[in-house]
Structure 1
Amino acid sequence: MSCGEPHDTECSEILDHLYEFLDKEMPDSDCVKFEHHFEECSPCLEKYGLEQAVKKLVKRCCGQDDVPGDLRAKVMGRLDLIRSGQSVPDHEVSAAPSAPQDS
């Protein structure tokens, strides 16, 4: 998505890191950059508002549910793989990444 206007920060970068902004998982300097972008880019502001509304709805409707320990472990394992830059298989990921096996 792009509004077609030039920005200091590209729309694609904003949208790629939107959830980090929503979850307050980025440095303040980056947050300021996002806020400035939203002031001048209505399509990104609209996308931000939509994602913020969905996040609030999910929290309200599902925020009280207990997450099974094995599911949490699988999700955390997948996040660790993504953060380390490893490819993530489309099928189920085990709770702990297994060591490479010799053939």
Structure 2
Amino acid sequence: MSCGKPHETDCSEVLAEVWLFLDHECDQGRRAKLEQHLDECSPCLEHYGLDEHLKTLLASKCGGEHAPDALKERLRAKIRKTVLERGGVPSPPPRN
């Protein structure tokens, strides 16, 4: 997706990383770039708003249980692989 306007961070990158942003799982520098884009781009902000509502709904219905770290890492690796296979956005470095 692209709103058609030039941005420092491309719309497709922002939307690919919106869940990392919502979950506070990206470093402060990346978070600032994503936040700046969301401030400038109403289509991405609207999409972010939908994802934010979905995350809130899921959190309220899933009882706040946390997934094991090993599962989270497997999911992140699979998402990175899928994004790269589809010619998507460069993935962030693995988290420690």
TM-score (normalised: structure 2): 0.69
Between structures 1 and 2, the one with greater helix share = 2
- Tell me the residue number matched to 1:8: 8
- Residues matched between the structures, number: 82
Aligned in 2, Cα 1:4/1:59: closer, same or farther, shift over 3 Å? same
Q: Does the alignment pair 1:79 with 2:75?
A: yes
Measured on the aligned residues, the alpha-carbon RMSD in Å equals: 3.0
Question: What CA distance in whole angstroms lies between the structure 2 residues aligned with 1:44 and 1:84?
Answer: 21
Identity level (%):
41
- Tell me the residue number matched to 1:28: 28
Q: What runs of 5+ residues in structure 1 fail to find an aligned partner?
A: 87-103
Task: String of CA shifts for 1:1-42, please: whole Å, max 9, x gaps.
Answer: 111000000001111111111110000011110111011100
Question: What CA distance in whole angstroms lies between the structure 2 residues aligned with 1:7 and 1:38?
Answer: 10
- Tell me the residue number matched to 1:41: 41
Aligned in 2, Cα 1:57/1:28: closer, same or farther, shift over 3 Å? same
Bigger RCO of structures 1 and 2 (CA < 8 A, at least 6 apart): 2
Detail structure 1 runs of 4+ shifted over 6 Å in the superposition.
Answer: none
- Tell me the residue number matched to 1:18: 18
Structure of greater Rg: 1
Q: What runs of 5+ residues in structure 2 fail to find an aligned partner?
A: 83-96
TM-score (normalised: structure 1): 0.65
